[in-house]
Amino acid sequence: MIRRIHHAGIVVERLATAYEFYRNVLRLPLLREADIADQGVRAALLSAGDSEIELLEPTRPGTGVARFLEKRGEGLHHVCFDTSDVDGELDDLAARGIELIDREPRPGLAGRIAFLHPKACDGVLVELATPPSTDDGDEQSPVRLKRLVIGAHNPATTSARFQELFGFPEVAINSGPRSMLAVGRGTLLIVPADEVGGSQGMVALSLVADDFFDLMERFDRAQVKAMRGSGEVTVEPESSHGVHLHISRYE
């Protein structure tokens, strides 16, 4: 049973530089930072409401994360779903012939984790995690992750795939050939790739800021490049380490 979006994983060149935006400007509290030797990364988890943001800095060449950075630059890398039983979830997926990267869970920053093959989810790299039971996750964050936007050639097919794999219920929306799925209190919004510059896979994050006007002042001071509306702002990827971020004042 998937309980929530645990985190969105973002590959960055250097954690210290990414902290200037994610910790100092957005004010996401740092929960943990550690070297994950087998993945060749130094990783950090920042609290973002019900979910978290994971920043990943490659520490040696030749790893998946290092190759991603070389090929595509900084940006969204994977999404992690929180499950109470990662072992059972993997057994079930394996029994159904779903392509997995990890057949057995291993220790990660989010707890016991495992990756599915991106082919299994129409190009989206999905991680499953069972966090340690001591995880409080209660750190107050002024900015909360609400939604992950996914580009797909056929949104209905990709949506059906996520529903079939993880049992996410569809949320009714009336905006053309899009599909929205509920994951705990967060959502996945699957849109036609044409609407997002032809991009397939993870394309953007939507967040809600409780301190929107203070945040805009911090954007000014830090000279964050962004397109501003009255109650929402879209951060230019060059200011947010390759990630399209939509931040709004309201839920």
Tokens of 136: 């409080």
Judged by CB under 5 A, which stretch of 62-70, 74-82, 171-179, 185-193 contacts Co ion?
74-82
Radius of gyration over every alpha carbon of the chain, rounded to an integer in angstroms: 17
Q: Is 54 in the site for Co ion (CB under 5 A)?
A: yes
Whether the CB-CB separation of 120 and 126 falls below 8 Å is answered with: yes
Contact between 82 and Co ion (CB under 5 A)? no
**Binding range to Co ion, per CB under 5 A, among 1-9, 82-90, 146-154, 203-211:** 1-9
- Residues 125-144 touching Co ion, rule: CB under 5 A, are 127
Strand partners for 43: 34, 56
Can you tell me the distance from the alpha carbon of 34 to that of 36, in angstroms, rounded to the nearest whole number?
6
Indicate the residue among 54 and 57 with the shorter CB distance to Co ion. 54
CB of 240 to Co ion, least distance (A): 18
* Interatomic CA distance for residues 187 and 145, integer angstroms: 9
Tell me whether residue 217 is exposed, middle or buried, using C-beta atoms within 10 angstroms of its C-beta: 0 to 12, 13 to 18, 19 or more: exposed
89 near Co ion, rule: CB under 5 A: no
DSSP class per residue in 119-153: GGGTT--EEEEE--TT-------SEEEEEEEEEES
Q: Is 9 in the site for Co ion (CB under 5 A)?
A: yes
Q: Which is nearer to Co ion, 209 or 243 (CB)?
A: 243
Q: In the bound complex, which residue of the shown chain has the CB atom lying closest to Co ion?
A: 9
- Distance of closest approach, residue 80 Cβ to Co ion, in angstroms: 4
Asked if residue 105 binds Co ion (CB under 5 A), the reply is: no
Among 11, 41, 46, 80, binds Co ion (CB under 5 A): 80
**What CA–CA distance (Å, rounded) separates 1 from 86?**
9
Indicate the residue among 7 and 246 with the shorter CB distance to Co ion: 7
Which residues in this chain contact Co ion in the complex, by CB under 5 A? Answer: 9, 54, 80, 127
